[in-house]
Structure 1
Amino acid sequence: MDKIPEDRRSVNKISRGRKSIGKKLVNRKSVNRTLTDRSSASFFHFLLALLMITIFLTDPASAVVVSGNTHLGVEVSEINPNPARPGEDLLIKINIQNSGDEPAENVIVGIEEINPFIFKYSTSGLYGSGTNTERNFQIEQMRQRSKVELNFYFRVDPKAESGIYQLEFTIKDKSGTSFSRRIPIRVEGNPDLVLRGTEILPVNEDNSSSGAIVPGKEFYLKTSVKNAGNGDAKNVRVMLNLNNSSPLIPLEDNVRFFENLSAGSSENLSFKLLLGSNADVQPYRIPLRITASNNTDSFQIDKVQEIGINVLNRAQIDISSLKFDPEIPVKGQQVSLTLRLENVGDGEARSVKARLEGLEGSGSTGAFLGRLDKDDDAPAVFTFTPGKTGDQDVTLLVEYEDDFGEHKVSENLTYNVKSQEGGIFPIAIGAVLVLAVAFFYMRKKGKL
C-alpha cells in the first residue's frame, strides 16, 4: 500500500481536530440553551410565586384599579363602633390612594345606601370644615403616591337585627375605569326580654277564673319569656323573687334557664306555687327576676317584672235556724217565719236575698239581707197567712254574689197548718212537727 504523504496526514489530523472542536461547540451551545431555558422557567415560577404571595398577603379591606400610570385603591382605616348598634350612628373612614407614577384626575367616589345603613353625610380635608350630603362626589386631582381620607357617617336602622351587612363603595377615574368594594359591617343589637301571655291557673280545679287563686290552694303561674330586642340573648334566667314574708310558697325549683334566646323568639315556662291558707283576701304581685347578656357580654340584663294575681274566696249560705211565731201556724191567721241565714264560707257574700216559692196563702214571700261576711248571719223574716191546712211544702230560694260570681241555692221545707176548730191533740201534733223541723236543721248544721 502506498504511504500517505506526510503533509496529507497533517491535513487529516487538522480536519479531525476541527470536527471534534465543532462537536464540542455544538454540545456546549445545546447545554447553554438548556441552562437558559431552565433559568427562564425558574424565573417565571419565581415571579408567579411572588405574585401569588402578593395576592394572598393583600389586605382584604382594600381594592385597587389601574388606569394608565395611575394606581387607585381604597382602604378601610376605621369602623366605629364595631360592631355597629341599631339606632346609633356609624363612622367609616376610608383612604383613597394613588400609588401610581401619574396624578389621577376626576376621581368619583360613590356610596351605595344599603339597608340597614342610612347615609347622613361625609367629611374630608377636601371640604375644609364643611360636610358633604351627596352620596357621590368628585376629587379633581390626586397627586401620584398620595392619599385622601374620607369620613362617612351613617345611621343604623333601629329595627336592624344582628348580623353581617355590607356597604358598597365605587371608585371611577376620568378614563371611565371603575371598581366597587363591598365592606362587611357587623351589626349587633341588644336583647330585650319581656314576659308575655301570663296565666294563673289553680291546680285540679275546673270551675276557676284565670288570674284568681284561693287561700290554701295550689296554682300554676304560666308565662313565656320573649326576646323583643334586636340582638340575641344568652344565659337567660327567669326566677321567682319572693321574700320570706310572702304567703306565696314555691313547690318546685324557682329558676328556669335557657342557654340561648334569639331575637324575636320565645320560650314557655311555668312555676307551681301554694298560697298559704292564712293569706289575706287581697291582690298580690309575684316578682320575677330576669337576667341575661348579649353574645359578647358587653350588654347585661337584670330586671324584675311583676305578675299581678287576685286572691278570691267563696261564700256559702246555709240555714242556721228556723222559727214560727206562733209556733203552730193556723189557717186564716197571720204567722211569721224567721229563717236565720249564715255565711259559712271563706269569702264575702253580697246582695243576699231570699224568697219562698210554692206558699199556699197570702203575705210577704221575699226578704233582702244585703252583705254577709265570713261567719256572719242575719234573719230572713216572712209574714203570711196560711190558706190551707195540713202539711205544706215550700221551697226556700237564696241568691247571692261572691268573688266568683252569682249563685243560687234552694232548700225544701215542710210545715203543718192546723184548722181554727182543732183541739189540743192536733195542736200538739203541729208543735211536734215544727220542733222536728227545727231539730233537723239544727242537727244538720252542727248546732246540736
Structure 2
Amino acid sequence: MVDIKSIFNIKYVIAAALAFILIITPVNAELGIVLDSLSPQPVEPGQDFVLSVTLSNENSDASDVMLTLLPDSYIILKNEHDRVTTIGNIIKYGAFTKTYQLHANSNAVSGSYEIDLSTRWLNNGQLRISNKTINVIVRGTPQLAISNITITPELISPLDTFDIAFVVSNEGAGISHDVIVSTVTEGLPFVTAGTDTKVIKTLDRGEQIQLGFRIMVKDKADISSYSIPVKMEYKDENGKNISSQSTVGVKVLGRAKLSVANIKTEPQNPSQGEHFTVTMRIENSGTGDAKSSKITFTTPLEGNKTAFLGKIKPNDDAPAIFTFIASESGNIPYSASVEFEDDLGIHTQTWELNQYVSGKEGNSLMAPVSIVAVVVAAIFYRFRWKKRAN
C-alpha cells in the first residue's frame, strides 16, 4: 500500500532542492533592446525619420557593450558612424539610449522594411548577444497633376467645338486607386460634347496617361479668357479619399461675319452715259468686331471702286457708297470684295452681283411716244367735244 504522506514529503524535498540550486547559480545578464520611438510612421519614400532605442540592463553588470544597426537596403543611415556604437559598461539596472537619423529611399515602394539591431557584451567573461528587429512602414502618398495641355483648334469662337488634351501623371510616392478625372463647366459658357468624366483604375507612382475631352462654346459666350477646372478624385493606399484640381486656360475669340444687308441704286434704272450711285450696307452678324474693313468693286464701269468702312461691331452695319458712270449698257456683272480683320486674323469675302444699265436708244424713244400720247389725247378730247355739241 502506497504511503500518501511519504509522497508529499518527497515533493517538498525536490522543490526545496530546486530553489536552492536557483539561488546559488549566478544569473546571466540580458540587455534588452527596447523601442522608444519611431517617427513618423508610416514614412514616405524620400522622407527622413527618427529611431530611438534603449538598452536596459535588469541583471548583473555588462561590460564591453556594443550596439550595431543593420537596416534594409532601402533604409539609409544618415550618419555611417552610428552603424556601430561602442558603449562600454552598463551596470546592473543601468540603461543606454541611442537615437538614429534615418532616411527612406525615394525608390522604396510601399511596404514593410526591417531594421535589425544587435547588441554584444561580456558577462563574467562570456560573450552574450541579443537581437531585435524593428519594422518600418513605408507608404507613399499619391499626388496627381496634369501637364502638356493642348487645345485644338487653337483659335476658338462662340459655337465652336474644340478638344482639350493633357497628361495626367502621378508625381507622388504612392499608388492612386479609383481615379476620376472630370472637366467642370458649370457656370461657364461651355458644354461638354460627350462624357465629362474619365475613370482610371490605378495610376502607379511615376506613371502617366493621356486624356482628352471635347467641349463646345455656347453661342452667347463673352469674348474673354476662361479657366476650365479639371478635378481629380482618387484614393491612396489606405483607401483615404484625396482630391486635387488643376485648370486649363481657354481664350474665346471674336469672329466677325459680314454680309450684304441691302443694295440701293440711285437712280434705280440708270441709263448709259448717266452718273449713278450704289449704296451697299454691310452687316456684321458675328461675335467679334470687324476691324479695318474696306470694300473693293471690280467692274468695267468708271468711278470710285473702294470704300473704307473702319470698324463694324457685332449686330451693327455700315454703308459703302460708290459713284459710277454708266459707260456701257446691258446687264453688267461686277463683284464686291470686303476685307476685314477680327480676332482670328484677316479675311476676305466676295459677292458676285450685276447692274442693269439702259441703252441710249431707250431714251430716244421717249419723244415719239410722248408725241403720240399727246395726239391721241387731243383726238379723244376733240371727239368728246363734238359729241357734246351735237
Q: TM-score range by the shorter chain?
A: 0.5 to 0.7
Q: Name the amino acid aligned to 1:402.
A: D
Residue in 1 that maps onto 2:110: 163
Q: 1:401 to 1:161 in 2, by over 3 A?
A: farther
Q: 1:86 to 1:373 in 2, by over 3 A?
A: same
Q: CA deviation at 1:152?
A: 0.8
Residue in 2 that maps onto 1:187: 138
Q: Return the alpha-carbon distance in structure 2 between the equivalents of residues 385 and 271 of structure 1.
A: 58
Match of 1:214 among 158, 175, 181: 158
RMSD between superposed Cα atoms in Å = 4.6
Match of 1:389 among 314, 325, 328: 328
Work out whether 1:302 is the aligned partner of 2:243.
yes
Q: CA deviation at 1:408?
A: 1.2
Residue in 2 that maps onto 1:411: 351
Residue in 2 that maps onto 1:139: 87
**1:356-435 pair list within 5 angstroms:** 356-357=297-298, 359=300, 361=302, 364-383=304-323, 388-390=327-329, 392-415=332-355, 422-425=360-363
Instruction: Extract unaligned runs of 5+ from structure 1.
Output: 1-68, 122-132, 202-208, 429-448
SS in 1 for 2:363: helix
Residue in 2 that maps onto 1:342: 283
SS in 2 for 1:83: coil
**1:1-400 pair list within 5 angstroms:** 78-86=37-45, 88-95=47-54, 103-105=62-64, 107=66, 109=68, 117=76, 119=78, 136-142=84-90, 148-156=96-104, 159=106, 162-164=109-111, 185-199=136-150, 209-210=153-154, 212=156, 214-215=158-159, 221-241=164-184, 243=186, 247-250=189-192, 254-271=196-213, 275-297=217-239, 300-312=241-253, 314-325=255-266, 328=270, 336-357=277-298, 359=300, 361=302, 364-383=304-323, 388-390=327-329, 392-400=332-340
Contact in 1 for aligned 2:71/2:77 (Cα 8 Å)? no
Q: Return the alpha-carbon distance in structure 1 between the equivalents of residues 304 and 131 of structure 2.
A: 98
Q: 1:211 to 1:399 in 2, by over 3 A?
A: closer
SS in 2 for 1:425: helix
Q: Return the alpha-carbon distance in structure 2 between the equivalents of residues 292 and 404 of structure 1.
A: 39
Structure with more of its chain in strand, by fraction: 2
Contact in 1 for aligned 2:158/2:287 (Cα 8 Å)? no
Q: 1:426 to 1:313 in 2, by over 3 A?
A: farther
Q: CA deviation at 1:190?
A: 1.3
Q: 1:329 to 1:272 in 2, by over 3 A?
A: same
Q: Return the alpha-carbon distance in structure 2 between the equivalents of residues 81 and 71 of structure 1.
A: 30
Contact in 2 for aligned 1:162/1:232 (Cα 8 Å)? no
Q: 1:273 to 1:415 in 2, by over 3 A?
A: closer
Q: 1:99 to 1:252 in 2, by over 3 A?
A: same
Contact in 1 for aligned 2:156/2:162 (Cα 8 Å)? no
Q: CA deviation at 1:283?
A: 3.8
Q: Name the amino acid aligned to 2:201.
A: E
Q: 1:240 to 1:318 in 2, by over 3 A?
A: closer
Q: 1:218 to 1:394 in 2, by over 3 A?
A: closer
Q: Return the alpha-carbon distance in structure 2 between the equivalents of residues 114 and 78 of structure 1.
A: 21
Q: 1:358 to 1:171 in 2, by over 3 A?
A: farther
Cα deviation, 1:326-358, whole Å, max 9, x if unaligned, reads 653755x76544322122344432322222346
Q: Which moved more, 1:337-346 or 1:141-150?
A: 141-150
Q: Name the amino acid aligned to 1:233.
A: S
Q: Return the alpha-carbon distance in structure 1 between the equivalents of residues 353 and 191 of structure 2.
A: 45
Q: Name the amino acid aligned to 2:338.
A: V
SS in 1 for 2:339: strand
Q: CA deviation at 1:263?
A: 1.3
Q: Name the amino acid aligned to 1:148.
A: F
Q: CA deviation at 1:378?
A: 0.9
Contact in 1 for aligned 2:333/2:353 (Cα 8 Å)? yes
Q: Return the alpha-carbon distance in structure 2 between the equivalents of residues 134 and 198 of structure 1.
A: 48
SS in 2 for 1:378: strand
Q: CA deviation at 1:149?
A: 3.1
Superposition TM-score, scaled by structure 1 size? 0.57
Q: Return the alpha-carbon distance in structure 2 between the equivalents of residues 350 and 161 of structure 1.
A: 61
Q: 1:112 to 1:186 in 2, by over 3 A?
A: closer
Size of the alignment, in residue pairs?
333
Q: 1:251 to 1:367 in 2, by over 3 A?
A: closer
Q: CA deviation at 1:295?
A: 0.9
Residue in 2 that maps onto 1:27: none
Contact in 2 for aligned 1:105/1:140 (Cα 8 Å)? yes
Q: 1:180 to 1:365 in 2, by over 3 A?
A: farther
Q: 1:118 to 1:148 in 2, by over 3 A?
A: closer
Q: CA deviation at 1:102?
A: 7.8
Q: Return the alpha-carbon distance in structure 2 between the equivalents of residues 211 and 135 of structure 1.
A: 63
